[in-house]
Amino acid sequence: MTRGLGWETTYQPMDKVFPYDRYEGIKIHDWDKWEDPFRLTMDAYWKYQGEKEKKLYAVIEAFAQNNGQLGVSDARYLNALKLFIQGVTPLEYYAHRGFTHPGRHFSGEGARVAAQMQAIDELRHFQTETHALSHYNKYFNGMHNSNQWFDRVWYLSVPKSFFEDALTAGPFEFLTSISFAFEYVLTNLLFVPFMSGAAHNGDLSTVTFGFSAQSDEARHMTLGLECIKFMLEQDPANVPIVQGWIDKWFWRGYRVLTLVAMMQDYMLPKRVMSWKEAWEMYGEASGGALFKDLARYGIREPKGWQQAIKEKDHISHQAWNVFYNYCGAAAMHTWVPTDEELDWLSQKYPDSFDRLYRPRLLHYREQQQQGKRFHNATLPMLCTICQVPMTSTEPDDPTKICFRESDYLGDKYHFCSDGCKDVFDGEPKKYIQSWLPVHQIYQGNCFKADVDPTAEGFNPLAAVLDWYGIEQGKDNGEFEGSVDQKNFADWSGREAPAGEPAPLPATRT
Amino acid sequence: MTLRTLAPYDFPAKDVVGNFPAPLLYLCWEDHNLFCSPVCIPAAPDTPFAALAEAILPGIYGAHPDFARIDWSAVEWFKSGQPWQPDPGATLAGNGLKHKDVLRFRTPGLQGLQGSFS
Max distance between CA atoms of chain A, in angstroms, equals 90
Closest CA to A95 of A142, A32, A160, A155: A160
DSSP states of A433-496 as a string? T---HHHHHHTT-SS-TT--TTSTT--HHHHHHHHHT--TTTTSSBSTT-HHHHHHHHHHS---
Distances (CA, A) of A50 to A57, A129, A406: 11, 16, 51
The length of chain A in residues reads 509
Say whether residue A439 is in contact with chain B using an 8 A CB cutoff.
yes
CA quadruple A104, A108, A110, A111: dihedral sign: negative
**CB contact at 8 A, A431 and A162:** no
Distances (CA, A) of A350 to A95, A322, A342: 38, 22, 12
Determine the Cα–Cα distance for residues A413 and B104; give it in Å rounded to an integer: 16
pLDDT of residue A309: 98
Contact B36 A409 (CB under 8 A): no
Contact A389 B36 (CB under 8 A): yes
Contact B4 A322 (CB under 8 A): no
Q: Report DSSP state, residue B96.
A: T
Contact B36 A376 (CB under 8 A): yes
Say whether residue A453 is in contact with chain B using an 8 A CB cutoff.
no
Which helix H or strand E contains A110, and what residues bound it? helix A109-137
The residue type of A504 is L
Task: Annotate A331-371 with three-state secondary structure.
Answer: CCCECCCCHHHHHHHHHHCCCCHHHHHHHHHHHHHHHHHCC
The residue type of A281 is M
Q: Which of B3, B40, B64 to mutate to test the interface with A (most CBs of A within 10 A)?
A: B40
Q: Judged by CB atoms within 8 Å, which residues 296-355 of A form the interface with B? A: 318, 321-322, 324-326, 355
**A292, exposed or middle or buried, with CB in 10 Å at 0-12, 13-18, 19+?**
exposed
pTM over 0.80? The answer is yes
Distances (CA, A) of A451 to A5, A377, B19: 56, 21, 18
Count Cβ atoms below 10 Å from residue A421 Cβ, excluding itself: 21
pLDDT of residue A495: 72
Compare CB distances from A378 to B11, B60, B81 and report the shortest one's residue: B60
Compare CB distances from B36 to A325, A427, A434 and report the shortest one's residue: A325
Compare CB distances from A433 to B14, B24, B37 and report the shortest one's residue: B14
pLDDT digits (tens, 9 = 90+) for B15-44: 999 999 999 999 999 999 999 999 999 999
Q: Judged by CB atoms within 8 Å, which residues 157-196 of A form the interface with B? A: 170
**CB contact at 8 A, A471 and A452:** no
| Domain A38-334+376-492: top CATH class | mainly alpha
Q: Which of A24, A251, A363 to mutate to test the interface with B (most CBs of B within 10 A)?
A: A363
Count Cβ atoms below 10 Å from residue A450 Cβ, excluding itself: 5
Determine the Cα–Cα distance for residues A384 and A464; give it in Å rounded to an integer: 21
The residue type of A415 is F
Determine the Cα–Cα distance for residues A99 and A115; give it in Å rounded to an integer: 5
Q: Considering only alpha carbons, which residue of chain A is nearest residue B10?
A: A429
Say whether residue A287 is in contact with chain B using an 8 A CB cutoff.
no
CA A295 distance to own-chain centroid: 28
Contact A432 B13 (CB under 8 A): yes
pLDDT digits (tens, 9 = 90+) for B67-111: 999 999 999 999 999 999 999 999 999 999 999 999 999 999 999
CA-only gyration radius of chain B, Å:
17
Q: Considering only alpha carbons, which residue of chain B is nearest residue A324?
A: B36
Closest CA to B92 of B50, B59, B57: B50
Which helix H or strand E contains A318, and what residues bound it? helix A315-326
Closest CA to A255 of A420, A438, A88: A420
pLDDT of residue B1: 55
Give the fold, CATH level 3, of B22-115: Ubiquitin-like (UB roll) (3.10.20)
Q: Considering only alpha carbons, which residue of chain A is nearest residue B21?
A: A443
Determine the Cα–Cα distance for residues B49 and A2; give it in Å rounded to an integer: 68
| ipTM, two decimals | 0.98
Backbone dihedral angles phi then psi of residue B24, each to the nearest 5 degrees? -85, 145
A361 vs chain B: nearest CA distance in angstroms? 9
Sketch the domain layout of chain B as residue ranges.
22-115
pLDDT of residue B43: 97
CA quadruple A377, A378, A383, A387: dihedral sign: positive
Determine the Cα–Cα distance for residues B10 and B12; give it in Å rounded to an integer: 7
10-residue mean pLDDT series, chain A (509 residues) = 88 95 96 90 93 96 96 96 98 98 96 95 97 97 98 98 97 97 94 95 96 94 95 98 98 98 97 97 94 96 97 98 98 98 98 98 97 97 98 98 98 98 98 98 97 92 97 97 96 70 41
Determine the Cα–Cα distance for residues A131 and A143; give it in Å rounded to an integer: 12
Determine the Cα–Cα distance for residues A155 and A144; give it in Å rounded to an integer: 17
B95 vs chain A: nearest CA distance in angstroms? 17
**CB contact at 8 A, A456 and A108:** no
β-strand pairing of B101-106 with B24-29:
parallel
Reduced to 3 states, what is the DSSP secondary structure of residue A51? helix
Determine the Cα–Cα distance for residues A441 and A379; give it in Å rounded to an integer: 9
On chain A, the residues whose CB falls within 8 A of the CB of B98 are: 412
pLDDT of residue A508: 36
Max distance between CA atoms of chain B, in angstroms, equals 58
On chain A, the residues whose CB falls within 8 A of the CB of B35 are: 325, 376
CA A104 distance to own-chain centroid: 27
Which helix H or strand E contains A322, and what residues bound it? helix A315-326
DSSP states of A228-297 as a string? HHHHHHH-TTHHHHHHHHHHHHHHHHHHHTHHHHHIIIII-SS----HHHHIIIIIIIHHHHHHHHHGGG
Q: How many helices (H) and strands (E) does chain B have?
A: 2, 5
Determine the Cα–Cα distance for residues A150 and A226; give it in Å rounded to an integer: 31
β-strand pairing of B101-106 with B82-84:
unpaired
Contact A443 B20 (CB under 8 A): yes
B89 vs chain A: nearest CA distance in angstroms? 25
**CB contact at 8 A, B63 and B30:** no
Contact B4 A23 (CB under 8 A): yes
For residue A486, what are the β-bridge partners?
A: none
